[in-house]
Structure 1
């Protein structure tokens, strides 16, 4: 565990759930570095999504390995990292944990209509709103045996960050 005693955190959820915004807020409150997992996608993944096609497991594997490596590299330097990453399936989370076993997940949860409304007001470089349904179809919420917490996206990012900090800075996170 790094000197901050906060584990590496993945801020997960479907597109439009606020992973990047909340992830940055969480990292700031905890004094940790933040990485937007989207920045770690290979160019082929970005092109596929931009053309309106969802990624498959084979497409995601190198990206998830890159995220796991980033977390492990941070731990090797003695620091935890907050990463925004959809982490939609348990097997994706398992792959990330294979690199950094202490990783905890913050699952940003909200209903499809709210998220669709948010997406209608933003323009993402390569993640069109048309992919939202495939994200919900792929999503496997955190299992009861997985280390992490669900957080409702109706809360503003500052409140999400405060709630996450309260959980993961308490003893026994």
Structure 2
């Protein structure tokens, strides 16, 4: 269980918000990391592992033309996956992973090319490009290391968005919930 996942869930709980996950290369590892935290069910709605490209379109609503022209390993695909899972599962926040864990290149992208995305209320208000905020990663290592770092990175991106949004009122509520300390 990671401290990042714990902090993400704590902040979502303070805010009374929920989370959904769309995964490709991580194959369920993000959802596993989140659900390893006791009490995750208070904020975690669920996940979709859309490993096959057509599922990204059919289930998550990723644009078919985008997938045909650019492939599944693309920043816009990651953003649309995050938006799609957020809508599909009725969550306040959606996060997504897509990329190439190896051993072979995919969609013209080398091993270690990963895109992680977050979509939530801040993106709707500020008009994040493509429906969400995306981080482009170039990771080194073997398949398990790339997948593990992708999990860490998508949770860190969400934590950054949540922490950046937290207002003084939310901090006061959190202090009250934690015994006034």
TM over 0.5: no
Structure (1/2) with the larger strand percentage: 2
In our comparison, the structure showing a higher alpha carbon Rg is 2
| More RCO (CA 8 Å, sep 6+) | 1
